Structure 1
Amino acid sequence: MTHNSGYHLKPHHKFEREGRKYVADLETNDIIEINDVEWDILSRYGTQTDYQIVEALKKKYKVSSVFEGIKRLEWFGKRGQLLARIPESSGEFNASQPVRGELRLLVPFGFRDEESSIDYITTMNRYQLLSALTRKASLETLSFSQVRDGGIRSGNKRDLGKIRIRQITNDEDDTFVPVWYAREGYDGILLLSQLMENDLLYYQVPDIPIVHCIENSQKLQSSLLEPLLALYVAQKTNDSLVVKASWMKEWLSEFGIPGKHIHVIPDGINVVEPIDKGLAKQHTAAIFDRPMFAERPVVGLVSGFEPHLGAQWISAFARANRHLSIFVYDYVLAKHYRNLPENVVIFRADDEEMSAILPVFFQALDLIYFPAMPGTPLSVVLEAMAYGTPCIAMTKYGLPTEVKGAGVSIGLEWDNFGDFHVSMDQLSAAINQGLEPSKMRAEYERIAKGFAQKYTWQKAARNIIRLFEENRPLMTRSYPTDENLFRPIFCRRYSSETRKITSNVYRLGINRYEHLEKALAETLMEQHKSTEVASVFKHFKIESSVQRRGNLAFGRGTKF
Structure 2
Amino acid sequence: MKMTYPKKLHDIYKFEIDDRLFVADLDRCEVLEIDKLVWDILDICDSLDAEQIIETLGDRYTEDEIMEALQSLEKMEEYGLIFGESPSHAEERGGRMKILAPRSRVFEKEMRWTALGGIIAHTNLLKSMTKYADVYVTREIDLIEGAHLIPLDLRQRASKAKAISMGFDGVFLWFPTELEFLDMVSYMDSPLIMPIHEERGENGIMINLVMIWYSLLRDFDSFVIFSESTREFYSKFLMDPSFFKLIPLGVDAEQFRPMDKQAAKRKVAEMTGRAEILERKVVGFLARFQPEKGAGIYIKLAEMNPEYLFLVVAPSLGFYSNCHLPSNLIYAGRQPREKLPLFYNAFDLFCFPSLLAETFGMVVLEAMACGVPPIVPDFHGARYVVGDAGIIVEGKSFQHDIGSLSGYIPVELLSEAINRLMKDDHEMERLSRKARERALKFSWDASAKELIRLFKELNLRKRFIKRRRLFHVTFSPVYEGKSSGVKSTILNLTQYWETPLQRSGYTQSVEEGIALTLLKRHSMREVESVLSYICRDRRKASEVLSRVNAILESVI
Shorter-normalised TM-score: what interval?
A: 0.5 to 0.7
Change in Cα spacing, 1:286 to 1:203, as seen in structure 2 (3 Å) is: same
The corresponding residue for 2:226 is: 244
Give the distance between the partners of 2:310 and 2:277, measured in 1 at CA: 8
Q: What does residue range 284-363 of structure 1 map to in structure 2 within 5 Å?
A: 284-302=268-286, 307=291, 310-330=294-314, 333=317, 337-338=321-322, 339-346=324-331, 354-363=336-345
* SS state at 1:106 partner: strand
CA contact (8 A) 1:244 1:378 kept: no
> What amino acid maps onto 1:105 in structure 2?
K
- Quote the offset at 1:422 in angstroms: 1.8
- Could you report, residue by residue, the CA deviation over 1:124-155 in whole angstroms, capped at 9, with x for unpaired residues? 443332121111012234xxxxxxxxx45xxx
205-214 or 520-529: bigger deviation: 520-529
| Separation (CA, whole Å) in 1 of partners of 2:326 and 2:469 | 59
Partner of 2:455: 468
Match of 2:250 in 1: 268
1:201 is the counterpart of 2:183: yes
Relative to structure 1, the CA distance from residue 104 to residue 493 in structure 2 (aligned partners, 3 Å threshold; closer, same or farther) is: farther
Structure-2 change in CA distance of 1:476 and 1:130 (3 Å)? closer
On the 8 A contact 1:102/1:138 being kept in 2, the answer is no
For 2:451 and 2:128, the matched residues in 1 are separated by 11
Deviation at 1:467, TM superposition (A): 0.9
Measure the CA separation in 1 of the matches of 2:98 and 2:144. Answer: 14
Partner Cα distance (1:313, 1:264) in 2:
31
Secondary structure in structure 1 of the residue aligned to 2:213: helix
Asked whether the 8 Å contact 2:223–2:245 carries over to 1, the reply is: yes
Cα distance, 1:476 vs structure 2: 4.5
- For 1:189 and 1:398, locate their aligned partners in 2 and report how far apart those are by CA, in whole Å: 25
Contact 1:232 1:257 in 2 (8 A): no
* Structure 1 position 458, deviation (Å): 0.8
Whether the aligned pair in 2 keeps the contact of 1:303 and 1:329 (CA below 8 Å) is yes
Amino acid at match of 1:107: L
The alignment partner of 2:171 has SS state of: strand
Mapping for residues 378-389 of structure 1, pairs under 5 Å: 378-389=361-372
1:278 aligns with 2:262: yes
The 1:378–1:248 alpha-carbon spacing in structure 2 relative to 1, beyond 3 Å, is same
Task: Report 1:496-511 matches (<5 A).
Answer: 500=486, 502-503=510-511, 505=514
Show the counterpart of 2:383. 400
- Of 161, 168, 173 in structure 2, the residue corresponding to residue 191 of structure 1 is 173
- Residues 120 and 385 of structure 1: CA distance in aligned 2, closer, same or farther (over 3 Å): same
1:136 counterpart (132, 152, 155): 132
Deviations 1:176-202 (A, max 9, x none): 552773376222211113422122222
C-alpha contact 1:370 1:393 (8 A) present in aligned 2? yes
1:231 to 2:213 alignment: yes
Q: Hey, what's the Cα distance between the residues in 1 that align with 2:362 and 2:411?
A: 25
1:304·1:375 contact (CA, 8 Å) conserved in 2?
A: no
Cα separation, 2, equivalents of 1:107 and 1:335: 39
Q: Is the 8 A contact 2:200 2:207 kept in 1?
A: no
Give the Cα–Cα distance (whole angstroms) in 2 for the partners of residues 140 and 377 of structure 1: 26
1:454 counterpart SS class: coil
Deviation at 1:245, TM superposition (A): 3.8
Matched residue of 1:275: which SS? coil
Structure 2 match to 1:454 = 441
- Relative to 1, partners in 2 of residues 1:409 and 1:212: Cα closer, same or farther, differing over 3 Å? same
The Cα of 1:267 is off from its aligned counterpart by 2.7
Q: 1:538 aligns to what?
A: none
Please report how far the alpha carbon of residue 233 of structure 1 lies from its aligned counterpart in structure 2 after TM superposition.
1.3
Match of 1:193, SS state, is coil
**What SS does structure 1 have at the residue aligned with 2:177?**
coil
Equivalent-residue separation in structure 2 for 1:299 and 1:438 (angstroms): 15
* SS at 1:269 equivalent: coil
- The gaps in structure 2 that reach 5 residues or longer are 1-89, 488-509, 532-540
Deviations along 1:469-494, one digit per CA (max 9) or x if unpaired, are 222245752245899xxxxxxxx999
Partners of 2:511 and 2:246 lie apart in 1 by 37
**Paired residue type of 2:274:** R
Alignment partners' CA distance in 1, 2:548 and 2:264: 54
Say if 2:136 is the partner of 1:126. Answer: no
Q: How far apart, CA to CA, are the structure 1 residues paired with 2:206 and 2:372?
A: 31
Q: Is the 8 A contact 1:370 1:376 kept in 2?
A: no
SS in 2 for 1:301: strand
Deviation of 1:459 after TM superposition, in Å, equals 0.9
Partner AA of 1:343 in structure 2? N
Letter in 2 for 1:469: K
Task: Check conservation: 1:218, 1:331, Cα contact below 8 A.
Answer: no
- Distance in 2 between residues matched to 1:480 and 1:119, nearest whole Å: 45
Q: Which of residues 99, 103, 109 is equivalent to 1:110?
A: 103
1:427 partnered with 2:414: yes
Following the alignment from structure 1 to structure 2, what is the Cα–Cα distance between the partners of residues 442 and 114? 39
Contact 1:305 1:371 in 2 (8 A): no
Report the CA distance between 1:283 and its aligned residue: 2.4
The range that moved more, 179-188 or 426-435, is: 179-188
Distance 1:306 1:494 in 2: 59
Quote the residue 2:87 is aligned against.
Answer: none
Q: Aligned with 1:267: secondary structure?
A: coil
Tell me, yes or no, if the aligned pair for 1:348 and 1:354 is still in contact at 8 Å: no
CA contact (8 A) 2:353 2:376 kept: yes
Separation (CA, whole Å) in 1 of partners of 2:149 and 2:463: 31
Instruction: Report the count of equivalent residues.
Output: 412
What's the CA shift string for 1:8-52, capped at 9, x where partnerless? xxxxxxxxxxxxxxxxxxxxxxxxxxxxxxxxxxxxxxxxxxxxx
Q: Looking at both structures, which has the greater relative contact order when contacts are Cα pairs under 8 Å and sequence separation is at least 6? A: 1
On the 8 A contact 2:195/2:225 being kept in 1, the answer is yes
1:220 and 1:175 map into 2 onto residues whose CA distance is 33
Shift of 1:410: 1.5
The 8 Å contact of residues 331 and 347 in structure 1, kept in 2 or not, is answered as no
Q: Is contact 1:285-1:293 (8 Å) kept?
A: yes
Deviation, 1:510, is 6.0
Which residue of structure 2 aligns with residue 87 of structure 1?
none
> Residue type matched to 2:348 in 1?
D
Shift of 1:429: 1.3
1:478 aligned residue: 465
Q: State how far apart, in whole Å, the 2-side matches of 1:189 and 1:482 are.
A: 28
Residue 168 of structure 1 and its aligned partner are, at CA, apart by 7.9
SS of equivalent to 1:326: strand
TM superposition score normalised by structure 1: 0.60
Q: Distance in 2 between matches of 1:402 and 1:385?
A: 9
Q: Counterparts in 2 of 1:62-81, with a 5 A limit?
A: none
8 Å Cα contact 2:224/2:244 also seen in 1: yes
TM-superposition CA deviations, 1:378-416 (whole Å, max 9, x none) = 111111111212122212369722221201211111432
Equivalent residue of 1:460, what SS?
helix
Question: Aligned Cα RMSD in Å?
Answer: 4.8
CA pair 304-312 structure 1, distance change in 2 beyond 3 A: same
- Match of 1:364? 346
- Structure-2 change in CA distance of 1:379 and 1:494 (3 Å): farther
Q: Distance in 2 between matches of 1:256 and 1:134?
A: 33
